[in-house]
Chain A
Amino acid sequence: MDKSISCQKKFICFVERIKNINYEPKKIFKTIWNLLIYFLLIDFTFVFIFPFIYIITNALKSPYELVDMSTRWIVKNPILDNFRDAIVTLNYWNCLRNTLIITLLSALGQVLSCSFVAYGLARYKFPGHKLIFGIVIFSLIIPPEVLVIPLYLQYSKMKLLDTFLPIIVPCFFGMGLRGGLFIFIFRQFYKGIPRELEEAARIDGYNGIRIFFNIILPISKSPILVTSILSIVWHWNDIFEPMVYMTTPDKVVLSMALNSIMKNRAYLFVTASGEIVSPLAMAGSLLIILPLLIIYFIVQKQFMAGIERSGLTN
């Protein structure tokens, strides 16, 4: 009895609400418009997710299921053999250690040096500061191939080949992978900070370098986050520099190891639908991006906010 009354009430409320909805054509148009936009966005999102689904399913398939016509997306008996094999073939833990050393040290170097230099470019007017900024921007369009040959010769003379130094050291001097872009990002950020903070500190007798480390660096969290993420990602995925400077198998980084798996035809399979896949390479690439994805999902909120606020624009 009680229940039916409440049901009735709910129904009446519902009818009332439907009656109250405005059936203006403009509003209907707007709803359709919104739906269309969602449809489009989901469509585009699919383009980004689809390869992941493809790779995950193929990495989980056993050889039998790869040639089985009836299995396309949902793997009946997922196996982890491919991942186990990939860890062995990639020499995963060794490569991961190498990659981590290079990536983290380079990112640290780039964040420190680029922010330091950018502060000088943003706040001080000394002779040649415009020229230096011009060169910083110009250095972005120099193809790495032009520079790498002389550097390679130089490092081989100094017996620095096969160490991580050729990749890490330039990062501590504001160079390295797209160092110019990071200087640019930091400079835009510092230009936007009001000067009052520094002037107050200067009256208290701080010099520029103390101001930078004690005041400016603590408040520039968002560009630091953005540049360190970008730097980590770009170094993580970079294959060109390690390929040039590293020669012994001991010093191989993840991207190089994956490349050799991808180029090895022994690992290729022809699936039932005539596609050529390499389950081992797929498992391997999942293993390689996994650390990046984890970092991304942890910091994505701050990263997004930072990247919109920081100086990529203007």
Chain B
Amino acid sequence: MKRKFSLEKKMEMEGFIFVLPWIIGFIAFLAYPFAFSIVLAFSKVTDLSKLNLKFVGFSNFTRAFTVDVKFVPALLETVRDTLINLPLIIVYSLFIAILLNRRMKGRDFFRLMFFLPVLIGTGLIMKQLMGLYLDEDLLKSIGAADTEVRKAAGAIDLPNELLVYLGPELGQFVQQALDRLSFILWRSGIQIIIFLGGLQSIPDSLYESAYCDGATAWESFWKITLPLMTPTILVNIIYTLIDWFTSVDNKIMEYITEQSFKQLDLAYGSAIGWIFFIFITLLIGIVFLIIGRYTVYIGER
């Protein structure tokens, strides 16, 4: 028997065969459009049907910051929403995961319920459930006065009596906070799952020895659970950031889609898409650097 390759080479070849489909997909559906959108972002479409491009340098980018009045507010709103919601989601889902990790009756039922949003919590159905599909234009078109409009099923509603007691401004603020809260509850299914997995990877022996040394549950949460959960928290923060930034229904995404497919300004659409993408990458990088310093891994010490 003749052997053409050494065993090591042969294994490398096999590994390559495994990754080959991905490489083809990467070139066709990722690298190519990625490169093409850079070209688009730096050019102006002179003829849409034949796709004649003219190189215009940075003018699309400067347009986004200087001429366009809608882009920067949309960007800021998306970022603000995400940064407000992020800590709430993390704390809430960690809390729920700890509760669901206990041994208790009806645990399966609660798990079923808390993972329900994972299944239907994406896309339109959630909008329908939360009543968010009633956008302002639609409401104006049927001539609804602001006061009589309540979002359809916005889950948590303030009773009218309380609204009167709080006064219009404070009442509205509390109502907005509640709306945000129910929205967060609906968007944190995957995070709960990730945390549950993380909690189960902490060895019981740590808690037992802490208990023997006289630590209370409260102390062992702060001294054992939280430090060992830091890698999971990091994963969750990154996941949440990505999930919120790239979900199709946030303000900036809607704006990019509108620019490129309704206004058919493909070049400008890709330019603002690129600004947003660079922005996300920077933000996630910063988060990674800051939180990466505080993470603890079991093996270390």
Residues of A within 8 A of B (CB): 34, 37-38, 40-41, 44-45, 47-52, 54-55, 113, 116-117, 119-121, 123-127, 129, 132, 135-136, 139-151, 153-154, 170, 172-175, 179, 183, 207-209, 212, 229-230, 233-234, 237-240, 244, 255, 258-259, 262-263, 265, 268, 270, 274-277, 281-282, 285, 288-289, 292-293, 296, 300-301, 303-304, 307-309, 312-314
Interface bracket on B: 35 or more
Select from chain A the residue with minimum beta-carbon distance to B181: A47
A127/B12 in contact, CB under 8 A: yes
A113/B22 in contact, CB under 8 A: yes
- Residues in A neighbouring B102, C-beta threshold 8 A: 37
Q: Which of B80-88, B164-172, B245-253 contacts A (4 or more CB under 8 A)?
A: B245-253
Complex: A262 Cα to B152 Cα, angstroms: 12
Complex: A311 Cα to B149 Cα, angstroms: 45
A149/B266 in contact, CB under 8 A: yes
Chain A interface mostly: helix
B114/A47 in contact, CB under 8 A: no
- Residues in A neighbouring B281, C-beta threshold 8 A: 141
A142/B34 in contact, CB under 8 A: yes
Select from chain A the residue with minimum beta-carbon distance to B147: A274
How many residue pairs at the A-B interface have CB separations less than 8 Å?
276
A292/B17 in contact, CB under 8 A: no
B193/A296 in contact, CB under 8 A: no
Select from chain A the residue with minimum beta-carbon distance to B195: A313
A145/B29 in contact, CB under 8 A: no
A281/B133 in contact, CB under 8 A: yes
A47/B156 in contact, CB under 8 A: yes
A140/B269 in contact, CB under 8 A: no
- Residues in B neighbouring A282, C-beta threshold 8 A: 128
B25/A113 in contact, CB under 8 A: yes
Select from chain A the residue with minimum beta-carbon distance to B198: A313
Select from chain A the residue with minimum beta-carbon distance to B276: A143
What is the minimal beta-carbon distance from A239 to any residue of chain B, in angstroms?
A: 6
* B76 at interface by CB-CB < 8 Å: no
- Residues in A neighbouring B194, C-beta threshold 8 A: 312-313
* B72 at interface by CB-CB < 8 Å: no
B30/A124 in contact, CB under 8 A: no
A45/B30 in contact, CB under 8 A: no
B18/A154 in contact, CB under 8 A: no
Interface string of B225-261 (1 = CB under 8 A from A): 0000001100100000010011010000100110011
CB pairs A–B below 8 angstroms (30 shown): A47-B155, A47-B182, A48-B117, A48-B186, A51-B130, A124-B16, A124-B18, A127-B12, A136-B22, A146-B270, A149-B270, A150-B40, A151-B33, A173-B24, A175-B25, A175-B29, A175-B30, A208-B15, A209-B14, A233-B118, A237-B120, A258-B125, A270-B148, A276-B139, A300-B115, A307-B197, A308-B197, A312-B193, A313-B194, A313-B197
- Residues in A neighbouring B273, C-beta threshold 8 A: 143, 145-146, 149
B119/A296 in contact, CB under 8 A: yes
B40/A289 in contact, CB under 8 A: no
What is the minimal beta-carbon distance from A256 to any residue of chain B, in angstroms?
A: 9
A116/B246 in contact, CB under 8 A: no
- Residues in B neighbouring A179, C-beta threshold 8 A: 25
Q: Which of B60-68, B105-113, B207-215 contacts A (4 or more CB under 8 A)?
A: B105-113
- Residues in A neighbouring B17, C-beta threshold 8 A: 120, 208-209
Of the candidates A183, A300, A309, A312, which one forms a contact with B22 in the assembled complex, judged by CB atoms under 8 Å apart? Answer: A183
A45/B25 in contact, CB under 8 A: no
Given contacts A175-B29, A277-B152, A308-B200, 6 further A-B contacts (CB under 8 A): A55-B129, A145-B257, A172-B21, A175-B30, A207-B14, A270-B144
A146/B200 in contact, CB under 8 A: no
- Residues in B neighbouring A276, C-beta threshold 8 A: 134, 139, 142, 144, 149-150, 152
Complex: A304 Cα to B18 Cα, angstroms: 29
* B28 at interface by CB-CB < 8 Å: yes
A147/B133 in contact, CB under 8 A: no
Complex: A147 Cα to B67 Cα, angstroms: 25
Complex: A37 Cα to B110 Cα, angstroms: 12
B18/A151 in contact, CB under 8 A: no
